[in-house]
Structure 1
Amino acid sequence: MRITELYSDVITEDMHYEYKAKLNPENPVKWAKTIVGFANGEGGIIFVGVSNVGEAFGLDLTEIDQTKNLIAIVNDRHIFPHVKIGYMLRSIDEEAERFVLALKVSPSHSVVRYREGDFNETVYIKGDGNSVPATPEQIISLGKRRFGIDNEVSEIRYVESEWTEFLNLCRLYREDGSVPSLKELQSEEVISKDGYAKSGFLMFKDDYQGEDSLISCRLWKGKNKTGIVLDSGRYKGSLAKVFREAILFIKRNTRMGWMKTGKGGRQNLWAYPMEAVREALVNAVAHRDYSIAGTQIDIDIYDDRLDIVSPGSWLLPRKYEEYPLGSIPSIRRNTIIAACLDVANLMERGGTGFQTMAESYKSSSQEKQPVVLIYPGFLDLRLFDRLYETTSDEVRDLSGDGLSDTEKVIQLLKTRGPMPVRELQALLNYNHRGAFLEKVINPLIVENIIYRNGSSKSPKSLIVLR
């Protein structure tokens, strides 16, 4: 008898159905991985007493009892968390002596693992007709899809040499320049007691290739996205790596000016305080909703402001401006990612990151204060350019002083720091890159006043004042 005669909707083995002749008690992982795979997916049915080609020969009642007992033992001893399984019987003969046993596996609300011994756990996912071990990225996706968290234990052991980007981040921002010990990482629950990395910590691993770590950066000429893109970068990989790349992008596109001090001197002033930039980016990385597929963190630098936009709704009951400064509650959407940033001395505890941003703008006017813009499904942390009112029109002001184009470039580089070729070209109103290079840039390079950092053929190459 064919299985299709008992179950008319079952055509072949696929993502929802699988056939087993018998369940071998000597090698339970051969069939238990299918249970785990179904539980980690949308659920499914295993038909026992059916050949690989769909021929139903059935089991007698004694064999069925033995099979159900075996499943119960394996589920109890090897499958964690335990899976919900229902049973159905259908007779294949008129005498009702032999039956096909159908195991209906329900989808789990958590990531299910098959455990052999004390330290060997495997997460299986269902393929088309088979079950295979999940990759680290698939385990992360499973955890996010299930309940939006990042603290599932993976089967990847922590090895320092495979987390060098994260350790370098710790050296950069920890006050003593140290790296965390295994015990410290376990104390922060970034790593399990037996040395396995949590799924959120895998996103800091050197070889992480998930699309969900992407940060897209753009520098615009103008105050909106209808202008020219002067510089851009798309960074993905380890969260530690993309964080540092994004900080460097912002830094190289942030102007440097000065302000008068009380004693008549001058104090250097970044257009965007680097401590505010760091806190805003940390907040975006720590609290974005990584379960929304196809999204990214967007960083857009305009003439007058910097926007860091991350996917995910505002988690607090009241709007940002309704909380007094320093009293914003700390709610973490991604506990392990936040813990990793804690370890690196980047994550401010208790919601004080917002206070740090405000403190860095304390000398600025009210309209320049950082704001949090809340939209359905995403947040925009906005920082304003503290130098915009006095330096947004440098080229026009300089031209009024009768400066040549080469003198304008020198003055701009002194004011802003290194700048891309095409931004300088746009600010000096040159329509043709070749003419700009020939008349302005190349003579300054020959005179050893400036140098180019990057390819001579790239409009993104930075021009640096010697």
Structure 2
Amino acid sequence: MNLPELIKGGESETLEFKEKFDERTVDSAVAFANEKGGTILIGVSDKGVIKGTIIGKETLTQWANQISSKTEPQLIPLIETHELEGKKVVTVKILEYPLKPVSVRGKCFRRVKSSNRVMNAQEISEMHLQSTGMSWDRFPAAERTLEDLDLEKVKRYMRKAAETGRKAFAGDESPLQVLEKMGLVKGRRPTWVAGLIFRKDDRPFLSQAVIHCGRFKDHTFVIDDRLIEGTLFEQIEEAMAFVRKNTNVKFVMTGRPEREEVWDYPLEAVR
């Protein structure tokens, strides 16, 4: 670790300067653990000036214990002493914690650029789901039943997936068995993602699960506007149709049986 070069680069998402060890040092440790990990330099001012710090016989052990005892789950820092410009500087290295978020005094912090920010309830929930390999859409949908799903849409998906070679299903598999195998039905209840993909037309799962398309002539004048609802598959198709409708196309005769379509904006870019 080249400390002079690190200090020269200034504070960042993975580096924090502290003139002394205090409660905010533990906050930084938590913020680093909740992101990519990082290093805290004790004895360096916010502007990167080496101030040094006083190190006693039990100082490093006490600092490590403070971080471990105040964090939940407990963090185990890697602490080392260095000498720069004849002064003592301590590095407190924090590894990214696998099960997030980590908290201190009942608060969870995350690193945003070169500062620590308190996380709100939604951020805490999302971080926990991500760290456990889960997401909200894989959980059973509240107050929903299999009656909310259109099994004919599942059958169409099965046929299309088989035709394109993306998935193979046994000939005797029912739509419900396929949903269960894919983890879209749990305990006889549809997950949120099952509803977003295969819901019945008259049974929306999430009111905010829509696509709002608009074509602007300038910053304030809208010349075409559409709110697209339906399943995710249907929304993608209708959104693409909206883009095609509002994109100029030029037909080029190449001598081949089919003419070539040249769009002002390549359709591949929006797929």
Q: TM-score when scaled to structure 2?
A: 0.52
Query: What secondary structure is seen at the aligned counterpart in 2 of 1:87?
Result: strand
Query: What amino acid sits opposite 1:19 in the alignment?
Result: F
Q: Pairwise mapping of residues 155-304 of structure 1 onto structure 2 (< 5 A)? A: 276-279=146-149
2:242 matched residue in structure 1 = none
Question: Number of residue pairs matched?
Answer: 183
What is the alpha-carbon distance in structure 2 between the residues aligned to residue 329 and residue 43 of structure 1?
38
* 1:92–1:99 CA contact under 8 A, matched in 2: yes
CA distance in 2 between counterparts of 1:88 and 1:60 reads 13
Q: What's the secondary structure of 1:47's corresponding residue?
A: strand
Q: For residue 81 of structure 1, what is the aligned residue in structure 2?
A: 73
Output one character per residue of 1:267-321: Cα deviation in whole Å (capped at 9) or x when no partner.
xxxxxxxx7541469xxxxxxxxxxxxxxxxxxxxxxx64698xxxxxxxx9576
**Cα-Cα RMSD:** 4.4
Query: How far apart, in 2, do the equivalents of 1:69 and 1:280 lie?
Result: 61
Question: Does the 8 Å contact 1:57/1:92 carry over to 2?
Answer: no
Residues 111, 123 of structure 1: 8 Å contact kept: no
Distance 1:306 1:331 in 2: 16
Partners of 2:183 and 2:175 lie apart in 1 by: 21
Select 1:32's aligned residue among 19, 26, 32: 26
Question: What's the counterpart of residue 91 of structure 1?
Answer: 83
How much does 1:17 deviate?
0.8
8 Å CA contact 1:14–1:129 kept in 2: the answer is: yes
Is the Cα contact below 8 Å between 1:44 and 1:106 reproduced in 2?
A: yes
The 1:326–1:104 alpha-carbon spacing in structure 2 relative to 1, beyond 3 Å, is same
Which residue type is aligned with residue 99 of structure 1?
K
Q: Secondary structure at the match of 2:45?
A: coil
Q: Deviations over 1:213-246 (max 9, x none)?
A: 9xxxxxxxxxxxxxxxxxxxxxxxxx76xx88xx
Corresponding residue for residue 123 of structure 2: 138
Instruction: Measure how far apart 1:62 and its partner are.
Output: 1.4
Q: 1:55 aligns with which of 42, 49, 56?
A: 49
Higher relative contact order (CA 8 A, sep 6+): 2
Give 2:93's match in structure 1, choosing from 92, 104, 115.
104
For 1:75 and 1:280, locate their aligned partners in 2 and report how far apart those are by CA, in whole Å.
53
Q: Are residues 1:6 and 2:3 paired?
A: yes
Q: CA deviation at 1:325?
A: 9.0
Identity over aligned pairs, percent? 16
Check whether the contact 2:44–2:89 (CA below 8 A) recurs between aligned residues. Answer: yes
| Pairs within 5 Å for 1:286-435 | 306=153, 319=169, 349=187, 352=188, 381=198
Quote the Cα distance in structure 2 between the aligned partners of 1:348 and 1:114: 31
| Alignment-derived partner of residue 449 in structure 1 | none
Partner letter of residue 110 of structure 1? L
CA distance in structure 1 between the partners assigned to 2:4 and 2:14 by the alignment: 13
Structure 1 residues 79 and 328: CA distance shift in structure 2, 3 A: same
**1:45 CA displacement:** 0.7
Amino acid at match of 2:148: R
What code does the residue aligned with 1:138 have? E
TM-score normalised by L of structure 1: 0.32
SS at match of 2:17: strand
Q: 1:380–1:114: structure 2 CA closer, same or farther, 3 Å change rule?
A: closer
Conserved in 1, the CA contact under 8 Å of 2:70 and 2:104?
Answer: yes
Cα displacement string for residues 376-406 of structure 1 (whole angstroms, at most 9, x for unaligned residues): xxx96498xxxxxxxxxxxxxxxxxxxxxxx
Q: 2:10 corresponds to which letter in structure 1?
A: T
Q: SS state of the match for residue 7, structure 1?
A: helix
Q: Residue deviations 1:325-348, cap 9 Å, x none?
A: 9878968979xxxxxxxxxxxx86
Conserved 8 A contact 2:30-2:104: no
Q: 1:276 to 1:81 in 2, by over 3 A?
A: closer
Q: Distance in 2 between matches of 1:40 and 1:78?
A: 15
Corresponding residue SS for 2:51:
coil
5+ residue gaps, structure 2, are: 158-167, 191-195, 201-271
